[in-house]
């Protein structure tokens, strides 16, 4: 990459990080300095983090978020990969009709269907339950995952599948031992993407999880963001805490995430 190109990317990165740095800065300020129009202030304090940890059972909220997110990711991967295998490799009848119908759901704004989903969940008795979030999140995530995984599976060498069938593989072995390893970059990309989307979701969780025992961690900032934002330091402290798992996750899987993006870019 040319020297000036690196300079441009560096400057762009700095501007991109300013909101995150400001969030971290405010979380480390005392109340009297919270609204100072400066990127950094001194001295710093960790009292805001102590307040958040003391006033909230964060271990319960984090556990709820992990359960909902992990369940959603697994369900999305299972459903989307099974469909992609049925459509691309087995060529089952009706799969393209399903594909077309699910694609149309990507054009519907999620905010417009939150209330109908909440009413449906109430009729199922799924308010304040894990499945009350896992099932809607999965339904919303499957169409996008299906498009990504199917695109990879369409480009898979069909000779491998024919050879495996000649060697005596049944459908299940063909799916697990041949199809899934071929689309592993797509599976990793979809898993990371769905994890981030599910972990950060707020509106549906606000409606479905009304008791403290089932609340997810993204609902905690509400109690610090009142009309007058009486405790901005605590608000930004919990936002930093929520962001940490995503930063850690991306640090460890960045290589696979980028590999999935690059592989998807050259498909077809």
Residue 146: pLDDT over 80: yes
Of 70-79, 104-113, 130-139, 203-212, the one with minimum mean pLDDT is 104-113
**Residue 266: pLDDT band with limits 50, 70, 90:** very low
What percentage of the chain exceeds 70 in pLDDT?
93
Three-class SS of the chain: CCHHHHHHHHHHHHHHHHHHHHHHHHHCCCHHHCCCCCCCCCCCCCHHHHHHHHHCCHHHHHHHHHHHHHHHHHHHHHHHHHHHHHHHCCCCCCHHHHHHHHHHHCCCCHHHHHHHHHHHHHHHCCCCCCHHHHHHHHHHHHHHHHHHHHHHHHCCCHHHHHHHHHCCCCHHHHHHHHHHHHCHHHHHHHHHHHHHHHHHCCHHHHHHCCCCCCCCHHHHHHHHCCCCCCCHHHHHHHHHHHHHHHHHHHHHHHHHHHHHHHHHHHCC
**Residue 216: pLDDT band with limits 50, 70, 90:** very high
Average pLDDT in the 221-230 region?
Answer: 68
What percentage of the chain exceeds 90 in pLDDT?
26
Give the contacts of 118 (CB within 8 A, at least 6 positions apart): 204, 207, 208
Nearest Cα residue to 153 out of 252, 268, 54: 268
For 173-200, what is each residue's pLDDT tens digit? 889 888 898 888 889 889 989 999 999 9
How far is residue 202's CA from residue 197's CA, in Å, rounded to a whole number? 10
For 25-49, what is each residue's pLDDT tens digit? 888 888 888 778 788 888 888 988 9
Domains of the chain (ranges; CATH) run 1-45 (no CATH), 56-266 (1.10.3720.10)
Residue 226: exposure state from Cβ atoms within 10 A (0-12, 13-18, ≥19): exposed
The predicted model scores a pTM of: 0.85
Average pLDDT in the 207-231 region?
Answer: 80
pLDDT at 51: 87
């Amino acid at each position: 990459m040319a020297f000036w190109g690196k300079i441009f990317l560096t400057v762009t990165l700095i501007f991109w990080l300013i909101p995150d740095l400001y969030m971290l800065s405010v979380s480390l300020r005392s109340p009297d300095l919270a609204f100072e129009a400066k990127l950094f202030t001194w001295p710093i304090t960790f009292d805001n983090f102590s307040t958040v940890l003391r006033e909230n059972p964060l271990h319960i909220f984090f556990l709820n978020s992990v359960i909902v997110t992990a369940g959603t990711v697994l369900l999305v991967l299972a459903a989307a990969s099974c469909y992609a295998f049925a459509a691309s490799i087995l060529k089952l009848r009706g799969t393209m009709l399903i594909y077309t119908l699910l694609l149309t759901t990507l054009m519907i704004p999620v905010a417009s269907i939150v209330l109908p989903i909440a009413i449906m969940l109430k009729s199922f008795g799924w308010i304040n339950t894990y499945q009350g979030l896992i099932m809607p999140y999965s339904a919303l995530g499957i169409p996008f995952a299906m498009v990504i995984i199917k695109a990879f599976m369409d480009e898979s060498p069909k000779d491998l599948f024919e050879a495996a069938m000649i060697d005596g593989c049944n459908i299940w072995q063909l799916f697990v031992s041949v199809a899934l390893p071929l689309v592993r970059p797509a599976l990793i990309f979809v898993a990371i993407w769905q994890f981030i989307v599910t972990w950060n979701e707020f509106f549906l969780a606000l409606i479905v999880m009304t008791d403290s025992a089932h609340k997810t961690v993204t609902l905690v900032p509400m109690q610090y963001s009142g009309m007058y934002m009486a405790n901005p330091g605590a608000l930004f402290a919990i936002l930093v805490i929520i962001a940490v798992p995503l930063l850690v996750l991306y640090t460890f899987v960045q290589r696979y995430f980028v590999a999935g993006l690059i592989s998807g870019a050259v498909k077809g």
